């Protein structure tokens, strides 16, 4: 073989990095997560254990070490063997040399051309011998074509994201660190032990108490200490918090949810010349000023461990994107329901009868429907960014239920065009671009008796719709057919 007669393989192994091989394996669907952009600890590409720091890329990207069960380490050749274990040595060398050449790292040595002596009595004739195509080369060519096609699609996606039609590709999100996980779980255990918390939550939202208790049992809600609270001190307070999850492929076409943090209510009373302050924040997050608790110090250490920088003139970067609150079918939903916020998502799920086993009603089919509570002004972009690849695969029907306020108007109405510019895409345009079928946009009308009501939770408080009434509404909208199946 050519690589045995020259130093092409040696030069290729010296030039290639682990991430170069990792990207090919990711593009070919062998690995499920993209390669890291720098050395350091990451999740193992060969396991779905969610353990941050179980795999290390080191030596300027030329080596790796697996701290998991195998404990193996090596370089580019060994990593290639883990990704394609059945290749012969010669075929593996060919692929590595070709990969280095495609990246421009090396120029392969041309194979020598053998020439037969030409007799003075015989005219010089070039003889071409044809052979059957090499299956390995054919497969390599197909892989290159697939890679180029994926690159074209990615470039087109970036172009469309610049025009606002598609959300930008998702950024890497780490699973929640141990300190955040423990803080949330302690708040969840607190709700189990202090049942009044569940009763207060249900009363505030107009829910049956069983709904709140079921959320606690599923570990979707907690009553965690505030980020700056020092547990045990007089003024330390707790606030309600909902878990935040990022979708990951389950390897069979569906999704598993990996916790990355939580979305927590906060309240700071007025005092010392400071006005009252309340709202929602994501945890983990780094405080803008100095740390006020041991927990905030742990969050600062976590941010530094990720290589993040902030200071007086540079705000701390966000650690958790505004991912949606999700309930329902994660395998192959035919209908995706979008509501504004986690409260509406929980209320819709409960109104369909899926929290309770009530013999009075014929339950709606939970299989085939996914309910997403979009969080905040940037929540729709985060939903389309992190869930876009799954929408493209499932191709579900999309049903958006907008609030009856100014924010809901951005869901209902197409945005106006600037002078001399084309109209920006509407929500329906974006859902279609993401792979959804025939989106529907609904909104709730205000009742004269309750003019301040604006969202589905307000609607539920006022009317308490039963699963049968929800079924009737869905048939009227057109997302449920006469046979009780999602359209």
Is residue 293 pLDDT above 60, yes or no?
yes
Beta strands in 195-324, from DSSP E residues, in sequence order: 221-225, 238-249, 255-268, 277-283
Does residue 339 sit in helix, strand or coil?
strand
In angstroms, the CA 428 to CA 444 distance is 18
Cβ contact 312:288 at 8 Å: no
Question: Per residue in 119-169, pLDDT tens?
Answer: 444 444 433 433 455 677 777 777 777 777 776 665 555 555 556 777 888
Instruction: Assign 420 a pLDDT band (cuts: 50, 70, 90).
Output: low
Report if residue 145 sits inside a domain: no
Where is mean pLDDT largest: 75-89, 195-209, 356-370, 400-414?
195-209
Question: Per residue in 11-53, pLDDT tens?
Answer: 899 899 999 998 888 887 788 888 888 888 888 888 766 666 6
Pair (453, 346) in one structural domain: yes
In angstroms, the CA 405 to CA 408 distance is 5
Report if residue 355 sits inside a domain: yes
CATH at 465: 3.40.1360
Pair (357, 438) in one structural domain: yes
Pair (293, 345) in one structural domain: no
Pair (298, 337) in one structural domain: no
Pair (445, 374) in one structural domain: yes
Position 159 scores a pLDDT of 55
Report if residue 7 sits inside a domain: yes
| Tally of domains in the chain | 3
Cβ contact 411:450 at 8 Å: no
Last residue of a domain, one of 275, 305, 335: 305
Cβ contact 334:396 at 8 Å: yes
Position 33 scores a pLDDT of 81
Report if residue 246 sits inside a domain: yes
* Cβ-proximal residues to 252 (8 Å cutoff; 6+ apart), any chain: 331
Tokens matching residue 37? 């952009």
In order of 3, 13, 99, 101, the CA distances from 10 in angstroms are: 9, 5, 13, 13
Pair (291, 332) in one structural domain: no
Pair (421, 469) in one structural domain: yes
Pair (188, 293) in one structural domain: yes
In angstroms, the CA 211 to CA 232 distance is 30
Cβ contact 481:487 at 8 Å: yes
Position 380 scores a pLDDT of 92
Pair (301, 350) in one structural domain: no
Question: Per residue in 371-403, pLDDT tens?
Answer: 999 998 689 999 999 999 999 999 999 999 998
Report if residue 396 sits inside a domain: yes
Report if residue 312 sits inside a domain: no
Position 53 scores a pLDDT of 63
Pair (107, 190) in one structural domain: no
What average pLDDT does this structure show over 335-341? 95
Block residue for tokens 């239920």:
401
Report if residue 152 sits inside a domain: no
Pair (286, 337) in one structural domain: no
Is residue 178 pLDDT above 70, yes or no?
yes
Report if residue 153 sits inside a domain: no
Pair (354, 449) in one structural domain: yes
Domain membership of residue 90 as a residue range: 1-112
Tokens matching residue 25? 């394996």
* Cβ-proximal residues to 440 (8 Å cutoff; 6+ apart), any chain: 397, 398, 399, 400, 477, 478, 479
Instruction: Assign 479 a pLDDT band (cuts: 50, 70, 90).
Output: very high
Instruction: Specify the higher pLDDT residue, 161 or 182.
Output: 182
């Amino acid at each position: 073989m050519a690589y045995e007669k020259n130093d092409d393989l040696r030069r290729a192994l010296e030039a290639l990095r682990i991430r170069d091989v990792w990207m090919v394996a990711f593009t070919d669907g062998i690995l499920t997560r993209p390669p890291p952009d720098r050395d350091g600890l990451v999740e193992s590409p060969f396991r779905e254990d969610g353990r941050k720091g179980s795999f290390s890329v080191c030596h300027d990207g030329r080596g790796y070490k697996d701290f998991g069960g195998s404990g193996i380490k090596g370089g580019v050749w060994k990593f290639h063997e883990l990704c394609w274990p059945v290749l012969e040595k010669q075929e593996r060398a060919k692929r590595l040399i070709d990969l280095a050449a495609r990246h421009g790292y090396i120029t392969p040595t041309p194979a020598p051309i053998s020439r037969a002596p030409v007799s003075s009595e015989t005219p010089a004739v070039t003889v071409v011998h044809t052979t059957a195509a090499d299956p390995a080369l054919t497969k390599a060519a197909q892989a290159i074509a697939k890679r180029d096609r994926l690159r074209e699609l990615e470039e087109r996606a970036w172009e469309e994201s610049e025009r606002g039609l598609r959300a930008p590709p998702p950024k890497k999100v780490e699973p929640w660190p141990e300190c955040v996980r423990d803080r949330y779980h302690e708040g969840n255990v607190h709700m189990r032990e202090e049942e009044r918390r569940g009763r207060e939550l249900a009363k505030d939202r107009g829910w049956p108490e069983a709904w709140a208790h079921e959320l606690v049992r599923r570990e979707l809600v907690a009553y965690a200490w505030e980020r700056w609270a020092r547990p045990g001190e007089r003024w330390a307070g707790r606030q309600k918090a909902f878990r935040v999850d990022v979708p990951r492929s389950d390897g069979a076409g569906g999704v598993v949810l990996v916790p990355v943090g939580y979305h927590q209510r906060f309240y700071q009373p007025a005092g010392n010349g400071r006005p009252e302050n309340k709202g929602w924040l994501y945890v983990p997050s780094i405080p803008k000023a100095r740390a006020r608790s041991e927990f905030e110090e742990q969050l600062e250490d976590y941010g530094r461990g990720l290589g993040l920088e902030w200071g007086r003139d540079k705000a701390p970067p966000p650690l958790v994107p505004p991912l949606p609150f999700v309930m329902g079918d994660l395998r192959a939903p035919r209908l995706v329901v979008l509501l504004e916020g986690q409260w509406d998502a929980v209320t819709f799920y409960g109104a369909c009868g899926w929290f309770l086993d009530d013999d009075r009603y014929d339950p709606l089919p939970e299989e085939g429907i996914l309910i997403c509570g979009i969080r905040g002004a940037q929540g729709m972009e985060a939903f389309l960014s992190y869930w876009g690849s799954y929408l493209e695969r499932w191709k579900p029907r999309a049903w958006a239920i907008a609030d009856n306020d100014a924010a809901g108007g951005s869901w209902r109405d197409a945005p106006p065009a600037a002078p001399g510019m084309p109209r920006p895409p509407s929500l329906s345009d974006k859902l279609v671009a993401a792979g959804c079928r025939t989106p529907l946009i609904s909104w709730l009308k205000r009742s004269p008796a309750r003019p301040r009501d604006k969202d589905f939770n307000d609607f539920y408080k006022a009317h308490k719709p039963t699963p049968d009434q929800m079924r009737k509404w869905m048939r009227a909208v057109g997302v449920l057919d006469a046979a009780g199946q999602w359209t």
